[in-house]
């Protein structure tokens, strides 16, 4: 759906009222009953209603003000919770910002609450028009949108306190995420960006390898791995000219949840955990900790034992408060032999279970098929390999994380 159609839809009082009345309607059923509303573009309205139903959680402020949305920009946009976190972590207070990849404008919205002024570039005319319309809807006064290539905009020579970009990955480049596959071209333009901004922040795919980043950027100062709803959503890096070569960047795992914010940072000293498969409690660290390569450090700091160097489960006889992840009570630990597992499941009448594996040959779907287990279930079955190469199944009870 084109931006003009969406904007005209929202400007039309009759159509806006129709959308308001059907915000909680089944959009498929609404489309089937389109003949009942001859004066309404039901197909367009239903598309927007469907996006609003998703935006209520991901973009609650944009939902509240009935901002313009289209499918492409909505799917590519960050969530408001993550955008607000980035604004705080980037220390934007009273700064002049250049956003090279403005998109729908969710990051601009969050940045505008702290920054003095933001210039925001977008190369897609449809998305630019939607974002421009939304500035008025959201009452944002300190953001100026530019319909242009962000790299071309750098040629104006304007200086900023900070430059931010969220490069797109070009299609058809395979599963391995490389900066060479992105647009704008970060690698070819980083020196120019650093000369115009005191620091450069780049949002990257969670798929990117941290060792690759450290080897690629001598200016790397910070790495933030951000999870939301137990899934790593963004990886954010900060580049500075002043960053010392051969100095490890500060790496931080950040978890956003309904309970609040949790953080864990890498320390100067390299801490090594102890290893064991025995404990009354089993802990599964948040994915941000694993992606940030901080699992071993987190275990050591919190006196938890890891099952193995590449098995990201922790065990302890103590119940740890405010653990950054999920906590389980161990009901039974069984050596992994299919006959033993089959007998145990039958004896305990377990036919439904949530299955998680770490450093294990079989995948959850394979195990589910092998043992005839449906999903979901109140039972938690974790399969893992310890440091001695022994394979185990843990029958667990959630401690409510």
Would you say 391 and 322 are in contact if contact means Cβ atoms under 8 Å apart? no
Alpha helices in 156-267 (DSSP H): 186-196, 210-216
- Cβ-count burial of 232 within 10 angstroms (0-12 exposed, 13-18 middle, 19+ buried)? buried
Are both 139 and 258 inside the same structural domain? Answer: yes
* Tens of pLDDT, residues 327-349: 999 999 999 999 999 999 999 99
- CA distances, 357 to each of 244, 345, 368, 373, 394 (Å): 39, 17, 12, 15, 10
Residue with tokens 């980083």, as numbered in its chain: 190
Q: Mapping DSSP to helix (H, G, I), strand (E, B) and coil, where does residue 206 land? A: coil
Are both 317 and 248 inside the same structural domain? Answer: no
Residue 67 lies in a domain: no
Rg (CA), the chain: 25
Residue with tokens 């960006």, as numbered in its chain: 193
Q: How much is the average pLDDT of 131-153?
A: 97
Rounded (5°) CA angle 165-168-174 = 140
Are both 119 and 190 inside the same structural domain? Answer: yes
* Average pLDDT of the residues of the chain: 93
Would you say 49 and 31 are in contact if contact means Cβ atoms under 8 Å apart? no
Task: Give the per-residue pLDDT at 105.
Answer: 97
Residue 82 lies in a domain: yes
Residue with tokens 């450093």, as numbered in its chain: 359
CATH number at residue 96: 3.40.50.150
Are both 340 and 215 inside the same structural domain? Answer: no
Q: Where are the beta strands (DSSP E) in 286-341?
A: 305-308, 311-316, 325-335
Q: Mapping DSSP to helix (H, G, I), strand (E, B) and coil, where does residue 223 land? A: strand
Residue 7 lies in a domain: yes
Alpha helices in 139-200 (DSSP H): 150-153, 186-196
Q: Single out the residue in 265, 296, 325 at which a domain terminates.
A: 265
Top pLDDT among 122 and 76 is at 122
Pairing of strands 231-240, 220-228: antiparallel
Are both 347 and 213 inside the same structural domain? Answer: no
pLDDT band at 324 (very low <50, low <70, confident <90, very high): very high
Are both 35 and 79 inside the same structural domain? Answer: no
Residue 339 lies in a domain: yes
pTM recorded for the entire structure: 0.91
Q: Of the given ranges (42-46, 87-91, 235-239, 279-283), which has the lowest mean pLDDT?
A: 42-46
Are both 122 and 233 inside the same structural domain? Answer: yes
pLDDT band at 244 (very low <50, low <70, confident <90, very high): low
Residue 387 pLDDT more than 80? yes
Q: How much is the average pLDDT of 108-137?
A: 97
Are both 255 and 159 inside the same structural domain? Answer: yes
Task: Give the per-residue pLDDT at 171.
Answer: 53
Q: Single out the residue in 241, 265, 289 at which a domain terminates.
A: 265
CA–CA distance, 122 with 130 (Å, rounded to integer) = 11
Residue 276 lies in a domain: no
Are both 139 and 27 inside the same structural domain? Answer: no
Are both 173 and 303 inside the same structural domain? Answer: no
Residue ranges making up the domain that contains 202: 75-265
* Tens of pLDDT, residues 144-196: 999 999 999 999 999 999 999 999 865 555 555 778 888 889 999 999 999 99
Residue 372 pLDDT more than 70? yes
Are both 100 and 197 inside the same structural domain? Answer: yes
Would you say 1 and 47 are in contact if contact means Cβ atoms under 8 Å apart? yes
- Domains: count for the chain: 3
Rounded (5°) CA angle 357-233-75 = 120
CA–CA distance, 174 with 207 (Å, rounded to integer) = 12
Q: Which residues contact 349 (CB under 8 A, 6 or more apart)?
A: none
pLDDT band at 378 (very low <50, low <70, confident <90, very high): confident
Q: How much is the average pLDDT of 342-360?
A: 96
Q: Single out the residue in 230, 265, 300 at which a domain terminates.
A: 265
Are both 252 and 364 inside the same structural domain? Answer: no
Residue 63 lies in a domain: no
Residue 393 lies in a domain: yes
Residue 70 lies in a domain: no
């Amino acid at each position: 759906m084109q931006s003009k159609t969406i904007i005209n839809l929202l400007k039309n009082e009759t159509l806006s009222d129709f959308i308001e009345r059907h915000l909680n309607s089944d959009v498929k059923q609404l489309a089937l009953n389109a003949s009942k509303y001859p004066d309404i573009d039901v197909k367009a309205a239903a598309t927007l209603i469907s996006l609003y139903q998703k935006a209520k959680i991901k973009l609650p402020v944009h939902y509240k003000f009935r901002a313009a949305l289209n499918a492409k920009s909505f799917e590519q946009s960050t969530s408001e919770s993550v955008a607000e976190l980035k604004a705080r972590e980037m220390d934007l207070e009273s700064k002049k910002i250049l956003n090279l990849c403005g998109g729908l404008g969710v990051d601009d919205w969050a940045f505008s609450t702290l920054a003095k002024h933001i210039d925001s570039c977008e190369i897609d005319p449809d998305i630019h028009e939607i974002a421009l319309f939304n500035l008025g809807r959201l009452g944002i006064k300190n953001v100026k949108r530019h319909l242009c290539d962000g790299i071309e905009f750098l040629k104006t020579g304007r200086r900023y306190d900070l430059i931010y970009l969220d490069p797109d990955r070009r299609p058809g480049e395979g599963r391995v995420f490389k900066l060479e596959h992105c647009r704008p071209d970060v690698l070819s333009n980083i020196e120019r960006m650093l000369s115009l901004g005191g620091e450069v922040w780049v949002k990257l795919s969670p798929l990117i390898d941290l060792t690759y980043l450290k080897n690629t950027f001598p200016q790397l100062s910070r790495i933030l791995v951000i999870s939301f709803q137990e899934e790593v959503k963004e990886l954010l890096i900060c580049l500075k000219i002043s960053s010392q070569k051969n100095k490890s960047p500060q790496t931080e795992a950040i978890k956003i949840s309904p309970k609040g914010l949790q953080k864990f940072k890498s320390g100067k000293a390299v801490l090594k955990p102890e290893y064991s498969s025995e404990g009354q409690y089993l802990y599964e660290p948040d994915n941000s900790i694993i992606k940030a390569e901080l699992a071993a450090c987190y275990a050591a700091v919190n006196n938890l034992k890891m099952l193995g160097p590449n098995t990201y489960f922790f065990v302890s006889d103590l119940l740890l408060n405010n653990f950054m992840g999920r906590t389980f009570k161990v009901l039974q630990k069984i050596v992994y032999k299919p006959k033993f597992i089959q007998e145990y499941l039958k004896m305990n009448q377990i036919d439904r279970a949530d299955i998680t594996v770490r450093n294990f040959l079989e995948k959850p779907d394979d195990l589910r098929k092998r043992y005839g287990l449906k999903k979901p279930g109140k039972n938690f079955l974790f399969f893992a390999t310890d440091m001695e190469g022994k394979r185990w199944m843990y029958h667990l009870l959630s401690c409510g994380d």
